[in-house]
Copies of this chain bind each other. A is one copy, B any other.
Amino acid sequence: MPSIPMNQAIREALHEEMARDSSIFVLGEDVIAHGGPYAVTRGIAEQFPDRIRQTPISEAAIVGTAVGAALCGLRPVAEIMYVDFITCAMDEVVNQMAKVRYMFGGQTDVPVILRLPSGSARLIAAQHSQSLEAWFMHVPGLQVAVPSTPRDAKGLMKSALRGRDPVMFIEYKRLYSVKGEVPDTEYVIPFGQADVKRQGEDITVVASGPMVGKALEAARILSAEGIELEVIDPRTLVPLDTDTIFSSVEKTNRAIITDEEVRRGGSSAELASRIAEECFDYLDAPVRRVAAADVPMPFSPVLEKLAVPSVEKLLAAARDLVA
């Protein structure tokens, strides 16, 4: 299997599906020049010149137009340069995209994909480092995918591109350049299927996005101490594969939830409260959450490092749970 970075994996999904389905259409700021800041859309203009457009800085129009086009037969894939800018189009996301199917009694599909580069990276401070999965989870009608590896990113994007519902496709910027093996044969990864990235008996760690890698690193370290983590990557937060998560917790009797979102009100709260409610009889210890500090992302490297959840914090939480 070839090893490629995540941005290339997403690009391959787009290319392959665009060749399959002529209704897929790409739009966003600077998506042609350099293929966007993350080079995800590189090469599309050359191969499908009529199916990609570079937009003005008009996030509300980008999303609104994508939704309108989806109601009329296209499958738009819009890049919002940083997820932080989706704040400029929340009406379009929340009151239009997420609700039209329901409000109109199921008259229409809404196959829109919003690609949302997320998280901290390269010291770009409070307005360019956010993670907003929790907001999207809280909006009925939105599906939320959070790939952590190139393989998952490609397979999930392919599912999204064949689906009928709006997808908030969370791409962690820090993962774009991280390589991983990707099958060279056709595959898709269905939404709602968690992936057990590592098996273990002692603690269930539900990790998403960039925290998957950190959880695996923590697992390697703790294994030497005789603590075996089971690392579960939900891959999609909506739909959520609670079966896999709950049965793991029934086995390990302990759980840590970790993601890069601000802790207060993060998706870790939803996951932790579900586990605490539904696995109550199996839990030997409280469910712990390891997430970002409750602060806007600070710029200075010394502070950013403290704000973002670390392997060390995972280690501490895990050791505490088995103590």
Contacts and interface: CB of A to CB of B under 8 A. Distances in A.
Contacts of A125: 103
A90 B84 CA distance: 10
Interface string A138-155: 111100000000000000
A269 interface: yes
B294 A286 contact: no
Contacts of A261: 138
A102 B137 CA distance: 27
A27 interface: no
Q: How large is the interface on A (under 10, 10 to 19, 20 to 34, 35 or more residues)?
A: 35 or more
Copy tally for this chain in the complex stands at: 2
Contacts of A140: 262, 264, 294-296
A98 B296 contact: yes
A194 to B, nearest CB: 17
A55 to B, nearest CB: 17
A312 interface: no
Interface of A: 84-85, 87-88, 90-91, 93-95, 98-99, 102-103, 125-127, 134-135, 137-141, 238, 261-262, 264-270, 272-273, 276-278, 280, 283, 285-289, 294-296, 298
